[in-house]
Amino acid sequence: MKEQKKEKEHHQKPAHGKGDHHDHNKKTETGTTQDESVESQEQNKDDQIAALNDKYIRLAAEFDNYRRRTLKERSELILTAGEDIISGILPVLDDFERAIDLLAKTGGHETAVEGTELIYNKLKSFLTSKGLKVIEAKGADLDTDYHEAIAQIPAPSEELKNKIVDVVQQGYMLNGKVIRYAKVVVGQ
């Protein structure tokens, strides 16, 4: 019964008329209609959404660039992590080469020469396995990306003009990066 009364009351309410507060075309104090005000609010919300989307896209792109940069730096660090240690070992490698040359020139004992060469080859193969590579220089054109000219001498032959005649100190690269330039003599 109560439900029927409520239903009757609901149907008896007056329809929206002139004095109703829900008139969509009623002018506000600023001179705009409520429809225009709603449209303006919707436009503001659309602008806010577009600004937030743009901000999100920029932030995502910035993060992606950061991630790529850190991955690149990390891989470079892994490749050259032992650069300081290997650079410190290079003078020992030079000493081995000088010792082998000296033993061969002075007619050193055969077992001493073999032992020194064996140790030298083990050390060199270990360093090669870690990415160390000799910069080939003798007879090549001078390339300042890999060679450091420390002297110029008259070329012994015409084909050695402006070419590397002698290597004073061997140059090395570690995983494609020069860690010591080859010190060379250039024919003039």
What does the pLDDT read at residue 107? 82
pLDDT at 30: 53
pLDDT at 39 (0 to 100): 85
pLDDT digits over 62-91, tens only?
999 999 999 999 988 877 778 888 999 999
Question: Are 161 and 134 in contact, with CB atoms under 8 Å apart?
Answer: no
Residues of the chain with pLDDT under 70: 1-33
Check residue 93 and give its pLDDT: 94
CA distance 137 to 187: 13
38 dihedral zone (left: phi>0; alpha: psi -120 to 50; beta):
alpha
